[in-house]
Amino acid sequence: MQKPLAGLGRRNVVRELTAGVTLLAIAIPLNIGYAQIAGLPPTAGLYALIVPTVIYALVVSSRQLVASPDAAAAALVASSIGGLAAAGSADYATLALAQAILCGIMFLLLAVFKLGFLANFLSKPILVGFVGGLALDILVSQIAKMLGVKIDSGGEFVDKVVGLVSGLGTLNGWSVLISIAAVAVLLLGKRFAGMVPWALVVLVLATILVVVAGLDDAGVAVLGAVPAGPPALTWPVIDWSMWLVLIPSAMALTLVTTAEGLLVSRSYGEKRGYPTSPNRDLFAFGLGNIAAGASGSFAVGSSTSRTAAMDQAGSRTQLPSLVLAVGTLLLLLFGTALLADIPSPAIGAIVGVAILPLLGIGDFARLWKVDRFEFAIGAVCFLVTLFVGSIPGILVAFVLALINLAKRAANPAIDVLASSGEPSDSLLADAPTGQVTAPGVIVVRLAAPLFFANGSVFADAVKRAVKAAPEASVHHVVVDMEAVTDVDVTGAEAFESLQTWLAAHDIELGFSRMRPEARARLETLGLLGTHRVYETNRAALVALTEPAN
């Protein structure tokens, strides 16, 4: 097992510590904003950077992945708990803690039973649509904050848009100026000096402006007093029925984090040449989320943007996360007074710029070009998430994933092979050209397992090939089994009906290049019978055509 802080040595300790300071400057303003998105006090975002971060950093296999609440997780928390309790209330915070603990338990179960593959059902179009819908919902709230317009941030998307438009007459001029300046600094700064923590720069300058000019008296909203002190260990006490109500949203959070977190972990491990363990990473997420629920925070996921920032800073260990935890703790102990006058428009600008990439505009454009069906899947997931809700969005995502899987599985490559072994005619075409492999012989290759979704498709394709052969001269059909890894009961029934049809037409059936596991499966299903099995397609052709010569 990889040791904690693997990769840390004398040569890179200074660089890692410096990267930790950079991470601290990035994470604090973002986590304050994400806590507000989730409908929780700023401390909930800061607490996530202490105990959960330390536990995660010491357990995870990835040397670089940064764990933290992110925008999508915050929006999921708000949308799932908003209908159960009033945002900002004690009950609301308690439910957020319970939700994080449920996420932690689910992560641990995924790790123990090695079920991380379930997240693979969230394909790229589904993730783009789901996260994009959440991001647009967040963006409306942040725009309102940037304009100084008060809306119900816990309401539905349409209500937020209506509230924003109807409240434009009450916008605050100073808030607008602060927001414009903040967005300009963030975008231009990232372009020309990407290593500078511009979010922190924006917060410091905006806070100084508010204090010096007394802009809070001019209507500019500020963060307000932040309680000092470290996070206290706690445990949510709620009725068992509420635990059950939180399970769907916790499941959604877990699956989204698993899909994104494992992908990012593996990609950076491959990029920087160190091993990663998916199950260990899931275990780390589990412990981190339980720690979040027990220390006053909310669900913790993976932060792609912060991980990328640490990679660019040259970090190759989890030391920056530990520096982040220590720095945040010191801030809560001695520096909370510095947070009180942070203007909300600046926070809105920082979060708004941070989530712009999550809208997935570029990804949608690419999907439109390469695959319209995948684009439609992403678009439907986006619209359901945006207009119906995050939980229906994740449910629709799974249904769409299954539909997409079934659609592709029901149309596998089915080819008539030429005598050379190469495909000569696709049997999925509506009008096969009637080619045969050799005189009187058709070798058919199915490039997929034979199961309920494609059994009848395969049987119909073989029948079409036989019927289209010149002068109905086919007397042997050989099924190339190289790519057939499994056969289920429904597929077996379709294959059995094909055997009956071939026998009725005096056509013998054979198999070639059969895998041992497939052969055992066919024997179990009673499909092999007396049919001959050839080692290669060439052997089948020689055996079936030479007697006629």
CB contact at 8 A, 513 and 548: no
Q: Domain residue spans in the chain?
A: 13-404, 414-548
**pLDDT of 99 higher than 90:** yes
Token readout for 98 is 């319970």
Give the list of residues 6+ apart from residue 464 with CB closer than 8 angstroms, or none: 427, 432
How far CA 238 is from CA of 209, 235, 244, in Å, comes to 44, 10, 11
Strands 423-426 and 441-446: unpaired
Query: How far apart are alpha carbons 529 and 492 in whole angstroms?
Result: 13
Facing residues of 438 across strands? 441
- Confidence band, pLDDT 50/70/90 cuts, at residue 2: low
Token readout for 29 is 């303003």
Q: Give percent above pLDDT 90 in the chain.
A: 54
Q: Ranked by mean pLDDT, which of 69-78, 100-109, 216-225, 307-316 comes out on top?
A: 100-109
pTM listed for this prediction: 0.79
**207: nearest Cα among 35, 335, 24, 19:** 335
- Each residue of 451-484: pLDDT tens digit? 888 899 999 989 988 888 876 678 899 999 998 9
- Each residue of 349-362: pLDDT tens digit? 999 998 888 899 99
- At the top level of CATH, the class of 414-548 is alpha beta
How far CA 132 is from CA of 129, 354, 385, in Å, comes to 5, 13, 9
CB contact at 8 A, 110 and 362: no
Structure confidence at residue 549 (pLDDT): 45
